[in-house]
Amino acid sequence: MVQVTTNVIPTGTTTGPDSSTDSISAIVHRQRTFFATGQTQSVEFRLTQLKALKQAILDHEAAILEALKADLHKPELEAYLTEIGVIKEINYVIKHLRAWAKPKSVAVPLDQFPARGRIYPEPLGVVLIIGPWNYPFQLMIAPLVGAIAAGNCALLKPSELAPQTSRILAQLIAQTFDPTYIAVVEGGMEVSQAVLAEKFDHIFFTGGTAIGKIVMRAAANHLTPVTLELGGKSPCIVDSDIQVEYAARRIVWGKFLNAGQTCIAPDYLLVDRRIKPALLTAMQTAVQEFYGDPAQSPDYGRIINDRHFTRLAHLLNDGKILVGGQTNPDERYIAPTILDSVPLDATVMQEEIFGPILPVIEYDQIEEAIALVTAKPKPLALYIFSRNKQFQDRILAQTSSGGVCINDTIMHIAPSSLPFGGVGDSGIGSYHGKASFDTFSHYKSVLVKNFWFDLKWRYAPYAGKLELFKRLID
């Protein structure tokens, strides 16, 4: 069943129907009707909605944190930084929206004189946002911020695998926006299929590559453009010229954040043979410092469900366990685990891990590491640890990835000024900050002429004018 509830109506919107079981088609139809009124075109309207969204998050903060704890055992600090922290994105967009929304003047060639060129950003219409379960709040709200900023109506489909967060998200949106403007539909596969059967003006999907292909096929039926934020095996390449303690802490934090269930978590470690013993020792120390006994630590998460737990538990057999390896199926607990002596053809090196298991591969020459990375599909993130600028530049030049972070992990996703997205198998399109506004906007080109005078060089008869045309082209 699809649940939609009408509560608080923001200023400027129309009142939606008094119903809690509307069909998806009806929701989309009403959103199209509301969009046609032109109310979302107003920058003031958009700013009002962004501020309302921010306040709603602040008002629901305790409930959001509780839901994330129930779904993923997220520590409060992690949940605040990586989920509630989406407020920083809202603040950034509010600060810059007026400038982004202004039409821009562009130069036009002399043969167009007298004329001027303008580019107008305009909203796409009604957009669909489908979210994942690993950061089930932030990865719904962040693209919604872009959709609102660009002036669209939006339908949100959160993941049913994080049911508590899905529920609080639905309540938050229903209490803040009329469903004729922004609505949430909850449910499993049948709801996802019904949503994808509708025609939208853009689909924004965050999740796995396999489901991304399904979304893209469904979008193709309506020629709907897509943004796909996927994943992949994000490598972490470690040079011998590093600060070992800092590198170890940053790798351990990035890998085991959210129990490894992060699309840009370091998926495998490529480490220079000369630094490997010192780095692994420092990483073991970091795991102990961070979590003590991770099974008892309030700062360590759990696997989302039994299916993923079982899949990850099998991967523990793919190498020599240096750290961790303990499991508890009753709690869906897998300890932070580092694997050594991992064959390159092992399953753990073939698929995205998406859990707290870090395989370690050593190399002698950087050519070996680069060859291994480039033999795999392009990842969403790539990490480089090195003081050597030439080492950094060589990897940047010879590899392709959605984004790169040098001498840290995860943190490149934080600045709203940096577009975030994948390439190849790791995704299509980007968002965050101005990139989010661009993703949910159409840039309409407009050429404006006037009636000052009318040169006849382009009109028939054409006799004797060819040389003039050639000079204009040259």
φ and ψ at residue 122, rounded to 5 degrees: -135, 150
Question: Which of 175, 180, 187 lies closest to 28 in space, CA to CA?
Answer: 180
Q: Are strands 202-206 and 126-130 parallel, antiparallel or unpaired?
A: parallel
Question: CA dist 324 to 73, 77, 297, 333, Å?
Answer: 19, 23, 14, 11
Q: Are strands 235-238 and 226-229 parallel, antiparallel or unpaired?
A: unpaired
CA distance 318 to 419: 35
CA distance 87 to 76: 16
CB atoms within 10 A of CB 438: 18
Residue 351 appears among annotated catalytic residues: no
Of 263, 352, 362, 405, the catalytic one is: 263
CA distance 266 to 254: 7
Residue 263 appears among annotated catalytic residues: yes
CA distance 19 to 26: 11
Of 229, 236, 352, 405, the catalytic one is: 229
Contact 445, 117 (CB under 8 A): yes
Both ends of the chain: CA-CA distance in Å? 64
What does the block give as tokens for 74? 């997220």
Positions annotated as catalytic residues are 229, 263
